[in-house]
Every structure is written in structure tokens, then in C-alpha cells.
Amino acid sequence: MDLYEKIKNQEESLSLVGLGYVGMPIAVEFAKRGIKVIGFDLNATKIETYKSGIDPTNEVGDEVIKNTTVEFTANEEDLKRAKFHIVAVPTPVNDDHTPDLTPIEGASEILGRNLTKGSIIVFESTVYPGVTEDICVPILERESGLKCGADFKIGYSPERINPGDKVHRLSTITKIVSGMDEETLDTVAKVYEIVVNAGVHRAESIKVAEAAKVIENSQRDINIAFMNELSIIFNKMRIDTKSVLEAAGTKWNFLKFYPGLVGGHCIGVDPYYLTYKAEELGYHSQIILSGRRINDDMGKYVAENVVKNLIAADKAVKGAKVAILGFTFKENCPDTRNTKVIDIVNELNEYGIYPMIADPTADAAEAKRLYDVDFVTMDAIKDMDAVVLAVAHTEFASLTMDQIDSFFGEEKKVLLDLKGLLNRKEYEAVGYSYWRL
């Protein structure tokens, strides 16, 4: 009986190493399909949170966490009881935009110390082509004393989970799978087919799968950078970018991307992994890095337009009362890591503006820990000179004009609607100074 059959028959366990926005939903989904799952994370506090039936990510909900059969643990030795390991740890970049492989190297060390013969390890973390075989395998071999190919096998299956997205889920997105040989590929594919209703795509090699993942988000990054550049140009021309995109979008082959802040752990990070490897091989990226520069500067651009709109409304800049609605890196998701809203905050600080920030969706403790930011309640936002609607949370999209009016004083109202959630003409008709990307 092969490993796939043993997993299906609950004779062997599957482990998830890394229980964040990606790893935890995978663990829960496998458990839901009757698989014995060990969910491991170094963060003991996070493990206790899951054990108490709380889902801080809001990805599956408290009720699901409360009833899941996943064995949550912070004890790495529990991994010895699993034969199929999925690694879903973050792969961030350093301050100089070079890949920070510390999390994936650490996960490989932990797994290596607890690896048993006959195991398969599948990495899901986004990396540049070659990391799985050239960096992770030597660590696994060193720590375990086992030989890759003879004692254990490896595969790669890039994560495609979209945090906060309730439509595109693990089971509904085609999964790319790869393995070091045909036998491993077959096992990896069959194991993932247990939870992926949309099916799998068998990549011809691990490097192909790694490359496929890293270009998915690079493509999105470049397209959004183009939209951001158009927004800058059209604002200079006093043309509404959203109206232009709506008109252009009537053509069947026009790609519907929109300008905005590009943060998070994928779109704003993955391109740097690809360009780093390209640089190592002697090629200096032109299009990819150009797009990154545009997107990285958008927070500064927004802050500059806050200041310009305050001046145009005859309001003092230094000490201006400004509120920012939304702090997470994307809508309807509590994750504040890698948010670009902080760039707006930091740039406003340079002008002597210290904005109030409200975000009922965000993880307040995380924001305090990472950025030393304290949120205020929506009720506390009053007598503002300017309000920046920064994140398209559902609760912000449903704000009425009366509610937005209540944020301001009697003087000219300056409203910056970065995501274009509101009706521009309606707000301008009642005297608002309205601006959007």
C-alpha cells in the first residue's frame, strides 16, 4: 500500500508546518475530508488560540476551528508521527528587497530533526526557482541524516489562497503540483486531489512550479503599476481614472485592473524573489522592477495629495486633523502585515500631520506590535479636515453620506476615496473636495 492510500485510510498522518492564513485553512480542509492532520506552528500562543476555538485569521471561522479534528501543536517532535509534510511558512523580503529565507530555512531544520524514512515533504511557500532543491534539501539532509531520493522525497505546490476571499478557496482553485520524480508527483497530486475539487495541474518539474507561482503575482504587480501610472497621469490631466477604466473596460480584451496600494505578502514581495535570482544570473530586470518602484511609491503619492487638497481647501497643513479609514493590506481581512497604509501615515507625519486611524476589521494587537499604531473607534472621528478612505472593507463601502458627513466639521470637507467606493458626482455636488486614484 502506497503513502497516499495509507493517508486516505488514516494509517498515516499529514502535517502542516506553519498555521497562518495559508497553512491553517489547508490543515482544516484535509481534516474535514477525514485525514489525520497534525498542525504545527512555533508560535505557542497561536496554537492555544486555535485550541480554544478561535480563528484570528477569519479564514474559516471560530465554529470550524472549534470542531476541527486537526491536532494543533507547538511541539516539533509531534511531526515524527506524520509521513506527508506540507510547509506553508512566509517568505518575506529584507529591507533591501532581497529574499529573506529565514522562515523556510528554519522550517526545514525543524522538519529535518523530526523526519522519518519514507516521508514526502511538499513546500508551498513562494520562492524563486531552485530554493526547494538547492537550499531546503541540503538542510533536510543535514538535520535528518537521511538522503533525499533514497530515504525521503520532496515536492512543491505553490499556495494560491487569497486571504479574505470567500469565493476563491483552496478547494475551488486549480492546484499546481510537482515532485522530484514521477512517483512522488503522482502521490503529491493524489493527496491534494483529496481537498482540491477544481483538480490539479502536474508541472513537469519543481523549478517550473516555483517559477509559475512567482510570475503569477509579478504579472499582477506590473498590471497594477500600469494602472497606478495612468492614475498619476490622468490626475494631472484632471481626468477621472475610474471613468476612463470603465469606458476602456467595455472592450472584450481589456484587462480589468485598478490603481491602488500594493501591500501584503505576495504581490508586493514575490517580484523581488524573481528579480533577485535574475540578478544572480547577470540579468537586470527592467519591467518588473520599474513596476515595483511605482507601486512602492504610491503611499507617498497619496499623502502628497492629502496635503495638496488641504491647501486647495484653504486649510492649514501642519496639525491638520486627518482620519484614515482602513489599515489592513487588503479589504475584509484582519492582516496588517506589509500594509502600505503605513506609508501614508509615515509621509503625513513628515508634514506634521498625525492621523487618527480606524479599522474595525484589522488585528489591533498586531498593528500595535508591528507599527506602534493605536486604532480609534469610528465614533471618535469628528471635526476632521480630511478623511482618507484607504481600504475597501464592506463596512466602509456601505457608509452613507450622512455617516461620512459626521466625520467632518462645518468647513470644506476633503475626502480621498482611494478605492473609488463612493459616487464622485454626488459628493462634489454637495461641496466636497473629492479625490481618488
What band does 160 get if pLDDT is binned at 50, 70 and 90?
confident
Taking CA atoms, 313 is separated from 310, 386, 410, 423, in Å, by 5, 10, 13, 20
Residue 195: pLDDT above 80?
yes
Distance CA 28, CA 254 (A): 38
In a domain, 381, yes or no: yes
Report the range of poorest mean pLDDT among 128-142, 255-269, 409-423: 255-269
Taking CA atoms, 428 is separated from 166, 311, 321, 326, in Å, by 34, 17, 21, 23
Domain final residue, candidates 174, 204, 234: 204
**In angstroms, what is the C-alpha Rg of the chain?**
24
What's the chain's average pLDDT? Answer: 92
pLDDT at 6: 94
Domain final residue, candidates 169, 204, 239: 204
CA 74 to chain centre: 24
Say yes or no: 235 and 150 in one domain.
no
pLDDT at 168: 58
The answer to whether 228 touches 260, Cβ cutoff 8 Å, is: yes
286 CB-contact burial (10 Å; exposed 0-12 / middle 13-18 / buried 19+): exposed
Domain final residue, candidates 155, 173, 204: 204
pLDDT at 219: 92
Say yes or no: 317 and 358 in one domain.
yes
Cell of 220: 499582477
Distance CA 112, CA 367 (A): 33
pLDDT at 330: 86
Say yes or no: 279 and 413 in one domain.
yes
Distance CA 205, CA 354 (A): 51
Name the percent of the chain lying above pLDDT 70. 97
Say yes or no: 233 and 131 in one domain.
no
Report the range of poorest mean pLDDT among 118-127, 261-270, 400-409: 261-270
Average pLDDT over residues 238-263: 92
Average pLDDT over residues 188-210: 93
Say yes or no: 129 and 168 in one domain.
yes
HEC-encoded secondary structure of the chain: CCHHHHHHCCCCEEEEECCCCCHHHHHHHHHHCCCCEEEECCCHHHHHHHHCCCCCCCCCCHHHHHHCCCEEECCHHHHHHEEEEEECCCCCECCCCCECCHHHHHHHHHHHHCCCCCEEEEECCCCCCCHHHHHHHHHHHHHHCCCECCCEEEEECCCCCCCCCCCCCHHHCCEEEEECCHHHHHHHHHHHHCCCCCCEEECCCHHHHHHHHHHHHHHHHHHHHHHHHHHHHHHHCCCCHHHHHHHHCCCCCCCCCCCCCCCCCCCCCHHHHHHHHHHHCCCCCCHHHHHHHHHHCHHHHHHHHHHHHHHHCCCCCCCCCEEEECCCCCCCCCCCCCCCHHHHHHHHHHCCCCCEEECCCCCHHHHHHHHCCCCCCHHHCCCECEEEECCCCHHHHCCCHHHHHCCECCCCCEEEECCCCCCHHHHHHCCCEEECC
Distance CA 97, CA 276 (A): 8
Q: Dihedral sign, CA of 281, 286, 290, 292?
A: negative
Say yes or no: 65 and 145 in one domain.
yes
Say yes or no: 164 and 18 in one domain.
yes
Residue 167: pLDDT above 70?
no
Residue 265: pLDDT above 80?
no
Residue 165: pLDDT above 70?
no
> Burial code of 271-280, b = ≥16 C-beta within 10 A, e = fewer?
bbbbbebeee
In a domain, 199, yes or no: yes
Report the range of poorest mean pLDDT among 92-101, 117-126, 129-138: 92-101
In a domain, 29, yes or no: yes
Say yes or no: 95 and 126 in one domain.
yes
pLDDT tens sequence across 75-106? 999 999 999 999 999 888 888 888 999 999 99
Residue type, 340: K
Residue 198: pLDDT above 70?
yes
Average pLDDT over residues 361-386: 93
CATH number at residue 399: 3.40.50.720
pLDDT tens sequence across 16-64? 999 988 899 999 999 999 999 999 999 999 999 999 998 888 788 889 9
Residue 355: pLDDT above 70?
yes
pLDDT at 84: 97
Residue 351: pLDDT above 90?
yes
pLDDT at 166: 62
Name the percent of the chain lying above pLDDT 90. 80
**Domain that includes residue 58, residue range:** 3-204
Say yes or no: 191 and 230 in one domain.
no
What band does 238 get if pLDDT is binned at 50, 70 and 90?
very high
pLDDT at 149: 94
- The number of folded domains in the chain is 2
pLDDT tens sequence across 296-338? 999 999 999 999 999 999 999 999 999 999 999 888 888 898 8
Residues taking part in catalysis: 266
In a domain, 135, yes or no: yes
